[in-house]
Structure 1
Amino acid sequence: MKFSSRIIIFTISCVVIAVLLVLLGGAFTFRQLAFNQQQHQLRSVVEVLDNQLSVQPDTPEFAQWLPNWLRAHNIQVLEVANRGGVIYTFRELNYTGSSKNLIAYRYPLLAHPEFYVQIWVERPFKRLTYEPEAMLGIGGGLLIVALGLIVVFRWLKQIMYGAELLQTRGNQIIAGRLRDMREGSPKEWPNAASKALELLIDELIEARQERSRFDCIIRNNAFVDELTQLSNRTHFLNQLEAEISDADAHIGAVLLIYLRGMDDVNYQYARSEGDAILQQSADVLKQYTRRNIDVNLARYSGDSFALLMPLSTLDEAEDTAAGVLKLLERISLPEVADADDFFYIGIAGYQYGDDAQLVLEQAEDALRIAQIQRHNGWYVIPRELNSSQTGKGSVRWRTLLQHVLVNDSLHYYQQDVFDEDGRVCYKEMLARITDYQGEVINAGVFLPWAEKSGLLMDFDRHALAFAMKQVKYSRQSISVNLNISTVLKQSVMRELLQWVFSVPYKECQKLVLEFHETQLSQLNDTEMMRLKALNKKGIKLAVERAGQRVVSTQYISELKLEYLKLHPSLVRDIQLRQVNQLAVSSMLASCAGRVKVVALGVERNEEWRVLQRLGVHYAQGFLFSKPEPF
C-alpha cells in the first residue's frame, strides 16, 4: 500500500472513530440522564406516600386519588408492603405491553422503616419516536464531518503525491537504477529532501567513478608498465604460474621478444626516441594479440616483451613469432639502429606441473641462441609436450566438435562454491567432451577451438539449455560460463525471456550467467541494457577471471552483479605476494559490499586464511571440492 494511502486511511480512521466515540458517549450519557430523571420522579412519589402514611397511618384514604396520580407518572404497578405482606397494590389494567419490559425499583420508606415500596415502570425511551426533525441536528453534524473528511482526503492526496514520487524514486535507487533516478520530478515533496537526494546521487556516482579510477591506479602501479600500459613482469609471472598450475590448460608457450639495438638508440639519441620505439612495438604487439583475449602480453624488462600463449603448441608459437616479426620489422628505426639485427624472439614450451622460473630460463636461452644467428629471427627450444588434446589441427578439431554436437555427447560436471562457514552457495557447471580415444577433454581446451571453428554459439546454447533444465531440480543456484556475444544475440535473448516468463520467479533466480571480465568491460550502453533486462527478470549475473587484466571496474556500478570471481593468478600463493594482496584489496573496495567476491582456485589453507583476512568470504577450488558429474 502506498505511503499516502496509509496516511489517509489512518487519518480517516481516527476521525471516524472519534465521531463514533462522541455519538456513543452522548447516547450513553443521555440514557443515563433519562434513567436518573425517572428515578428522581419515583423518589418524589415514594416521599408523598411516606408522608401520607404518617398523616393517616391506619386508613390510607389517599387510595382514592393515588391511582390517577400514579397514571400521571406512568407507573404500571405499585406495591406497598412490610414483613407481613402487601398492604396496598396498584396495577394499571389498561397496560397492553409485556410485563418483561418493565423495570422494577424498590425504595424503603424513611419515616416507616418497616415498610417499603416496589414500583414497576416502562423504560424511559419506550415511547420515544425518532422524528426527522429531531434527527436533523445529528444528521447535519455527520454530514459536516463527511464533507470535512472528503476535503481532507483530497488535500492529503494532493500533498502526498509528491511524497509518493519521492518514495518511488527511492525504491528505484534501492533496486540499482541509480543513474536513471539521478533527477527527480519537480512535484516531489518535501522539496528539500528531493534536492538533497539529487546532490547525494551525484556525489555517489562521482565517488564510484573516482573509486573505479583509483582501483585502476592501484592495479596499474602493481601490475602495469607505465610507459607501454602493458602488464609488467610481476603480473606476467603470476599469469604464467596460474596457467602452469591449471590442469585444464595442459600445454602452452612463452615468447620473449627482445629489442637488441635499444642501448645504441638510447646512447645516441635522447631517451624519448627509445621510448617511442618501445611504444610502437607495444602497439604492434597489442594489435596482433587483440584477436585472442587468452593471450597475455607484458613488458618483460626495459627492452623486451613477453607473450604467454595458453593451449598452444610450439608450431603455433613459431607461426605467431613469424607474424609478430613481420609487423615489428615495419617499424621505422633511427639510422644508428641496424634494422636486420634488432628484433629477436625466444620460444619455450610448458606443460602442467612445470616450474615457471625454469620455463622463463629456457625462453631466455632460446633468445640468446636467436641472437647468435645475427639476423632478425627466432629460436625455439625443442621439447616433446605431453598432451594429446592440443594441436590436433583445425580440421580434426572441427570434425570432433561437430561429432559431439550431432551425437549430443557433451556432458557436464559440477563444482561447488562455498562460503566461509562451509555452506554451498551455488554450483558451477563445467563442460566436458570425449575424443575418439575415450580421453576426457576439458572446456578450457576445446572451447577456444570451438570459437575458431565457428561452433562456440552452439556449445553455449547447449550449456544454457542444460542449465535451464537443471535449475528446476536443484536446491542451489547453478552457474554457466558463456561467451557474452552468444547471450547478446537476439535469438538467444528471445529464448531466455520466453523461459523466464514460463517458469516461476524463484526458479529464474537459480540461474547464474558468468561472463569474462574483459568481455564485460567492453560492452556499450545498449548491450548493458540487455543484460540489465535479464537481471530484472530474476537471472543473476557473475564475472569470472576478474583481475586477469587491468580493466576499469565501472561495470560493477553499471550492473547488479551477484558474484565476482577472482582470477587464480591473484589467489595462488597470495600469502607470499604483497602485490597480489594489494590487488585483491583494491577489487574488494570496488565491490564495496555490493557483490559477493569469490576466490577461484584455492588449494591451500594458507591462501584461504589470507583471503579471509582481506575480506573474501566465498571460495572455490580443490581445497573444498572437486568437479563431479551431474
Structure 2
Amino acid sequence: MQLTRLLTKQLTGFWFITLSAVAGGMMLSSLLAFNHFTQSFQQQRLINLQQSIFNQYYGKGDLHDAPWLSDMLAALQVKELQVFDGKQRIFYYLPEIAQETPTYKQHRKQRGNITIVIGMDDPSVWSLLDATEYTVLAICLLLVCALVMGGYYWFRRQLQGIEALAARSMLILKNDLIQAENFHDKARPRVANRAITQLLAKLQDASRERARFDTFIRSNTFLDPQTGVGNPMFFTSRLEALSLNQKMILPGVLFVLELEELDWLQQNHGEGVLVPLLSQLCEAINHLLSGLPNSIVARRSDNQIAMIVPQISLAEAENLAKKLIKICLAQNLPQVEEPDNFFHLGLAYFREGDNQQQLLEEVAMALRAAQLQGNSSWFMYDKGAIDEEFAKGSVRWRSILENALERQQIKVFCQRVEATDKQELHSEAFTRIMDQHGSLIRATLFMPMAQKCGLMPMIEKQAIQIVVAKLGRERRGKPVYSLNLSVDSLLNKSFIKWLTNFCMEHRPLTPQIIFEVSEDIVVKHKDELREPLAMIKAMGCKLCVDHVGLQVQDSEYLHDLGVNIIKLHRSVIRQVNQRPENQLFIRSLMGGVFRTDIKLLAEGVETFEEWQTLSILGVDGGQGGFIGEPLLLT
C-alpha cells in the first residue's frame, strides 16, 4: 500500500512537471518566434529605407530635395539618420523624441563613398507591447497556470481513487472482508469498485450459506432431528471424551430420564403429539442446564434422555434432579394410562478414575430403582463417599482460593502445541493452586468453585502476569503462550480495563500472547464479547476459540470476530481414526476456514493413530498426551 501511494505521488509529480514544462516551453517558443518576427520585419524595413536613400542620392544628388523622406522616417520611427560622403556629413535627421530618449541602436550601411547611419529602437517584445497587451498576456498566463493546476488536482484525485481501490484490495488480501465491504472511500475506477462490492456481497452470502451447510452437516451427524439435542452417537462421543482408557477424568453426575409408555403414545396419538412433547421437554431441560458449563444433553434412545453435568457437588445434583422432575411434571401430557408414572430419573455420581462402563450400569440401576418407586420420581445410586476434594463447601473453597491468591500460590503449567511437521506452534498455559498443605489442586476441581466465588478474574490476572514475566525474561527466541479467559473475566469491566492497560505496558510482548475462549461462551455472549475481543485483537494479541465441537454451533462467529485459531474439543478427537462421523465433522469445519488465516488445532491427542488421522485430514496441529504432558513454567 505504501508503494502504491509512493508511485501515485511520483506519477502526479511527474505529470505536473511535464505539463508545466510543456506550457512553459510553448510560451517561450511563442515569445522567441514573435521576437524573431519583429527583428526580421524591422530588418526588412531598414533595407528598404537604405535602398530608397541610395536611389535618391544617386538619382537626384540631394537628399534635402526629397520631402517624402521626413514623412517616411517619422513613419518608420527612425530616431536618427546620418548620411556621410566620405567623412563629410551631407544629411542629418534627429527628431525631438529621439533627443528625449537617446537610447537606440545604430545600423550602418556603406556603398561606395556613401555611408548611411540609421538609429532605431531595438524591436524587443517588451518594448513593442502596450498596457492592454500586457494585461491580455497576464490573463493568458494566469489561465494557463489555472488550467495546469486544475489538471494536476484532478489527476491527483483520480489517482487517490486508485489508492483507495488498492487499500480496499489490501483489506481483502488480509481477509478483513467486513471492513472491505464497509469501505466508503471514493475508489476509482468506479466500475472496478462496484465490481468488488458486488463480489464481496456474493462472497458474504456464500460464506453464510457455507456456514449453514456446515451446521446442517454437523446437525445431521450429531443431533437428533426430533428434539434438536444430541443423538446417541453424540452422547457416546462426549462420554468417552470425559474418560481416558475407560476411566473418568472429571467428577460429575450422569442423569438418565426415561419416558414410560412413549411407544404407546406414539402408536395411539402419532408423531403430531410426540414430537412437540419431546421438543418442549428438551428445550426446558436445555434452559435449566444453560448456566452449568460443559453440560451435555442427548437422546440416548427413543424413550431416554441423558444429561452429563461435570463438576457439581452431590447437593447440587440432588437439587438439579428435583428441578428436572418438576419440569417433567409441568409438561402437558395427552391421555395416558398412568400420567403420574410417566417420568423416571436415574442419577449416578462419578468421581475421577471411575470406570465408564460401571457408571452406565450404576445409572441403569438407579433408573430401575426410580421406576420401582411407583410414581414419577428420581433416584440416585448410593456410591458412598464422594470425592473429598470436590465435596468441600463453598466457604472452605473460598478460604483456600483467597489464601492462594494472597500468597501468590497460583502455579502455571504449559503444554506444548505442535504442528504436524513437529514444529512448536505455542504452549498452552494451565493453572493449578497450592493449598495450605502444599498440595496442588487441579483446575478441574477449583475452577467451578472459583466461578461460584467470583474469583476467576483474580486467578486469571495472576496467570497472565506470570506468563508475561516469563516472556520478559526469555532471551532465546520468541516463544508464544496461550491463556484461557473465562466469561466472568471477559464481562468484568474492571478486568478488561486492567488487561488493556497491562497490554499497553507490555506492547512489544503482545504478539507472543494468545487468549483462548470457549466456543460455548462465544456463541452465548457474542454481542457482549464483541468489544472486549476486539480490544484483545487491537492490542496485538491473537484470539483462539477452544472446545469447538463440544456442542453443535453455527460457525459464522469465526469471521465476525476475527478468530485466529480454533481448537477441536477432545470429544471430536477421541478415536477419530475409528469414527467417520467425527472425520466428517472436521472436514466440514475445515471447509468453513478454507483459504483463510484461521488455524485448526486439536485438543486431547492421546494416540499415534489419532495424530496420523488428523494429519491426513489436514489439521494444522494439536496437543495432548501423545505430543507432550504439561510442565511447570519456571
Once residues 437 and 346 of structure 1 are traced to their aligned partners in structure 2, the CA distance between those partners, rounded to angstroms, is 37
The residue number in structure 2 matching 1:527 is: 529
The residue number in structure 1 matching 2:562 is: 560
The CA deviation at 1:584 is: 1.2
Q: 1:151 to 1:268 in 2, by over 3 A?
A: closer
Alignment of 1:606 onto 2:599 = no
Q: Is the CA contact 1:248–1:445 (under 8 Å) kept in the aligned structure 2?
A: no
The residue number in structure 1 matching 2:219 is: 220
Q: Which amino acid aligns with 1:222?
A: T
Q: 1:270 to 1:616 in 2, by over 3 A?
A: same
Superposition pairs for residues 575-614 of structure 1, below 5 Å?
575-592=577-594, 593-614=596-617
Q: Which moved more, 1:480-489 or 1:145-154?
A: 145-154
Superposed CA RMSD: 3.0
Task: Give the TM-score normalised by structure 2.
Answer: 0.75
SS in 2 for 1:471: helix
The CA deviation at 1:472 is: 2.4
Once residues 145 and 604 of structure 1 are traced to their aligned partners in structure 2, the CA distance between those partners, rounded to angstroms, is 80
Once residues 290 and 203 of structure 2 are traced to their aligned partners in structure 1, the CA distance between those partners, rounded to angstroms, is 34
SS in 2 for 1:297: strand
Q: 1:327 to 1:476 in 2, by over 3 A?
A: same
Superposition pairs for residues 372-383 of structure 1, below 5 Å?
372-383=372-383
Once residues 501 and 290 of structure 1 are traced to their aligned partners in structure 2, the CA distance between those partners, rounded to angstroms, is 35
The CA deviation at 1:10 is: 4.5
Once residues 568 and 235 of structure 1 are traced to their aligned partners in structure 2, the CA distance between those partners, rounded to angstroms, is 13
Q: Is the CA contact 1:278–1:303 (under 8 Å) kept in the aligned structure 2?
A: no
Once residues 459 and 359 of structure 1 are traced to their aligned partners in structure 2, the CA distance between those partners, rounded to angstroms, is 33
Once residues 509 and 144 of structure 2 are traced to their aligned partners in structure 1, the CA distance between those partners, rounded to angstroms, is 52
The residue number in structure 2 matching 1:26 is: none
SS in 2 for 1:626: coil
Q: Which amino acid aligns with 1:496?
A: L
Q: Which amino acid aligns with 1:221?
A: N
The residue number in structure 2 matching 1:483 is: 486
The CA deviation at 1:380 is: 2.6
Once residues 408 and 337 of structure 2 are traced to their aligned partners in structure 1, the CA distance between those partners, rounded to angstroms, is 58
The CA deviation at 1:403 is: 1.9
Q: Is the CA contact 2:503–2:539 (under 8 Å) kept in the aligned structure 1?
A: yes
The residue number in structure 2 matching 1:496 is: 499
The CA deviation at 1:356 is: 3.0
SS in 1 for 2:473: coil
Once residues 625 and 574 of structure 1 are traced to their aligned partners in structure 2, the CA distance between those partners, rounded to angstroms, is 19
Q: 1:604 to 1:186 in 2, by over 3 A?
A: closer
SS in 2 for 1:193: helix
Q: 1:15 to 1:482 in 2, by over 3 A?
A: closer
Once residues 155 and 272 of structure 1 are traced to their aligned partners in structure 2, the CA distance between those partners, rounded to angstroms, is 70
The residue number in structure 1 matching 2:518 is: 516
The residue number in structure 2 matching 1:320 is: 320
Q: 1:352 to 1:11 in 2, by over 3 A?
A: same
SS in 2 for 1:253: strand
Q: Is the CA contact 1:351–1:385 (under 8 Å) kept in the aligned structure 2?
A: no
The residue number in structure 1 matching 2:539 is: 537
The CA deviation at 1:197 is: 0.5
Task: Give the TM-score normalised by structure 1.
Answer: 0.75
Once residues 333 and 627 of structure 2 are traced to their aligned partners in structure 1, the CA distance between those partners, rounded to angstroms, is 54
The CA deviation at 1:291 is: 1.1
SS in 2 for 1:472: helix
Q: Is the CA contact 2:248–2:350 (under 8 Å) kept in the aligned structure 1?
A: no
Q: Which amino acid aligns with 1:547?
A: G
The residue number in structure 2 matching 1:234 is: 233
Q: Is the CA contact 1:471–1:511 (under 8 Å) kept in the aligned structure 2?
A: no
Q: 1:331 to 1:12 in 2, by over 3 A?
A: closer
The CA deviation at 1:489 is: 2.8
Q: 1:258 to 1:248 in 2, by over 3 A?
A: closer
Q: 1:186 to 1:467 in 2, by over 3 A?
A: closer
Q: 1:598 to 1:378 in 2, by over 3 A?
A: same
Once residues 272 and 494 of structure 1 are traced to their aligned partners in structure 2, the CA distance between those partners, rounded to angstroms, is 53
Once residues 591 and 511 of structure 1 are traced to their aligned partners in structure 2, the CA distance between those partners, rounded to angstroms, is 22
The CA deviation at 1:5 is: 4.2
Q: 1:384 to 1:149 in 2, by over 3 A?
A: farther
Q: Which amino acid aligns with 2:356?
A: A
Once residues 566 and 446 of structure 1 are traced to their aligned partners in structure 2, the CA distance between those partners, rounded to angstroms, is 24
The residue number in structure 1 matching 2:37 is: none
The CA deviation at 1:611 is: 0.3
Q: Which amino acid aligns with 2:418?
A: F
Once residues 158 and 275 of structure 1 are traced to their aligned partners in structure 2, the CA distance between those partners, rounded to angstroms, is 64
Q: For 1:91-146, what per-residue CA distance to the aligned partner results, in whole angstroms no more than 9, with x for missing partners?
A: xxxxxxxxxxxxxxxxxxxxxxxxxxxxxxxxxxxxxxxx999xxxxxxxxx9999
Once residues 380 and 288 of structure 1 are traced to their aligned partners in structure 2, the CA distance between those partners, rounded to angstroms, is 19
Q: 1:146 to 1:507 in 2, by over 3 A?
A: farther
The residue number in structure 2 matching 1:6 is: 7
SS in 2 for 1:542: strand
The CA deviation at 1:147 is: 9.5
SS in 1 for 2:615: helix
Q: For 1:533-557, what per-residue CA distance to the aligned partner results, in whole angstroms no more than 9, with x for missing partners?
A: 3212211110110110011111101
SS in 2 for 1:427: strand
Once residues 336 and 515 of structure 1 are traced to their aligned partners in structure 2, the CA distance between those partners, rounded to angstroms, is 47
Q: Is the CA contact 1:314–1:380 (under 8 Å) kept in the aligned structure 2?
A: no
Q: Which amino acid aligns with 2:366?
A: A
The CA deviation at 1:442 is: 1.4
Q: Is the CA contact 2:370–2:378 (under 8 Å) kept in the aligned structure 1?
A: yes
Q: Which moved more, 1:575-584 or 1:495-504?
A: 495-504
Q: 1:276 to 1:159 in 2, by over 3 A?
A: closer
Once residues 192 and 504 of structure 2 are traced to their aligned partners in structure 1, the CA distance between those partners, rounded to angstroms, is 38
Q: For 1:209-267, what per-residue CA distance to the aligned partner results, in whole angstroms no more than 9, with x for missing partners?
A: 11111111111011111111111111111111111229894322211100113233223
Q: Is the CA contact 1:313–1:349 (under 8 Å) kept in the aligned structure 2?
A: no
The residue number in structure 2 matching 1:180 is: 179
The residue number in structure 1 matching 2:341 is: 341
The CA deviation at 1:286 is: 1.2
Q: Is the CA contact 2:249–2:353 (under 8 Å) kept in the aligned structure 1?
A: no
The residue number in structure 1 matching 2:392 is: 392
Once residues 383 and 463 of structure 2 are traced to their aligned partners in structure 1, the CA distance between those partners, rounded to angstroms, is 36
The residue number in structure 2 matching 1:467 is: 467
Q: 1:366 to 1:626 in 2, by over 3 A?
A: same
SS in 2 for 1:312: coil
Q: 1:582 to 1:385 in 2, by over 3 A?
A: farther
Q: 1:439 to 1:387 in 2, by over 3 A?
A: farther
Q: Which amino acid aligns with 2:628?
A: S
Q: Is the CA contact 1:348–1:362 (under 8 Å) kept in the aligned structure 2?
A: yes
Superposition pairs for residues 85-124 of structure 1, below 5 Å?
none
Q: Is the CA contact 2:12–2:156 (under 8 Å) kept in the aligned structure 1?
A: no
Q: Which moved more, 1:11-20 or 1:464-473?
A: 11-20
The residue number in structure 2 matching 1:291 is: 291
Q: 1:485 to 1:614 in 2, by over 3 A?
A: same
Provide structure 1 residue ranges, at least 5 long, that are not aligned to the other structure. Answer: 24-130, 134-142
Q: Is the CA contact 1:363–1:381 (under 8 Å) kept in the aligned structure 2?
A: yes
Q: 1:340 to 1:612 in 2, by over 3 A?
A: same
Once residues 411 and 165 of structure 1 are traced to their aligned partners in structure 2, the CA distance between those partners, rounded to angstroms, is 50
Q: Which amino acid aligns with 1:420?
A: T
The CA deviation at 1:355 is: 4.3
Q: 1:628 to 1:205 in 2, by over 3 A?
A: same
Superposition pairs for residues 1-400 of structure 1, below 5 Å?
1=2, 3-10=4-11, 12=13, 153-185=152-184, 187-245=186-244, 249-384=249-384, 387-400=387-400
Once residues 586 and 399 of structure 2 are traced to their aligned partners in structure 1, the CA distance between those partners, rounded to angstroms, is 42
Once residues 329 and 147 of structure 1 are traced to their aligned partners in structure 2, the CA distance between those partners, rounded to angstroms, is 88
Once residues 395 and 283 of structure 2 are traced to their aligned partners in structure 1, the CA distance between those partners, rounded to angstroms, is 32
Q: Is the CA contact 2:164–2:187 (under 8 Å) kept in the aligned structure 1?
A: yes
Once residues 559 and 217 of structure 2 are traced to their aligned partners in structure 1, the CA distance between those partners, rounded to angstroms, is 18
The CA deviation at 1:575 is: 0.5
Instruction: Report the identity percentage.
Output: 27
Q: For 1:400-437, what per-residue CA distance to the aligned partner results, in whole angstroms no more than 9, with x for missing partners?
A: 11222222211111111111121211111110012344
Q: 1:184 to 1:411 in 2, by over 3 A?
A: closer
Q: 1:172 to 1:495 in 2, by over 3 A?
A: farther
The CA deviation at 1:155 is: 3.8
The residue number in structure 1 matching 2:408 is: 408
Q: 1:287 to 1:144 in 2, by over 3 A?
A: closer
Q: Is the CA contact 1:182–1:198 (under 8 Å) kept in the aligned structure 2?
A: yes
The residue number in structure 1 matching 2:631 is: 628
Q: Which amino acid aligns with 1:235?
A: F
